[in-house]
Amino acid sequence: MISRIKYALYYNGDLAGVSNNFIHEKSEKILVRDFSIHMKGKILCPSCLGRLAKSPAEKNYFSNGRAACFFHIKGEGLDCNLRSKPKQGKLYDTEE
């Protein structure tokens, strides 16, 4: 698996001025299959609280049969331990 993010935090609120603990308390853990399109833009990484997106957004599988996954939105979670390290020799094309 490329993605090491097993679940995301769905947080339907304002991120400004709230503590990380507050976000953890008020958010809901969701698995890839629990994601629905209204959660778009409101799901966070459980480790770094960076914004995540699901790919593909509206399906549970890519057209090649690979399971959908969560990933950090570009520029988010740069030091996150759940972020997959860029691999040498490029095994997969990303679908971002």
Nearer to Zn ion, 68 or 73 (CB): 73
* Cβ-based burial of 14 (10 A; exposed 0-12, middle 13-18, buried ≥19): exposed
Q: Give the nearest distance from C-beta 19 to Zn ion in angstroms.
A: 17
Pairing of strands 28-30, 43-44: unpaired
Instruction: State the residues that interact with Zn ion by CB under 5 A.
Output: 45, 47-48, 50, 77, 80, 82
**H or E stretch covering 23:** helix 20-26
**Cα dihedral sign, 37-62-53-10:** positive
Nearer to Zn ion, 64 or 81 (CB): 81
Nearer to Zn ion, 43 or 82 (CB): 82
Q: Give the nearest distance from C-beta 77 to Zn ion in angstroms.
A: 3
Q: Give the nearest distance from C-beta 76 to Zn ion in angstroms.
A: 7
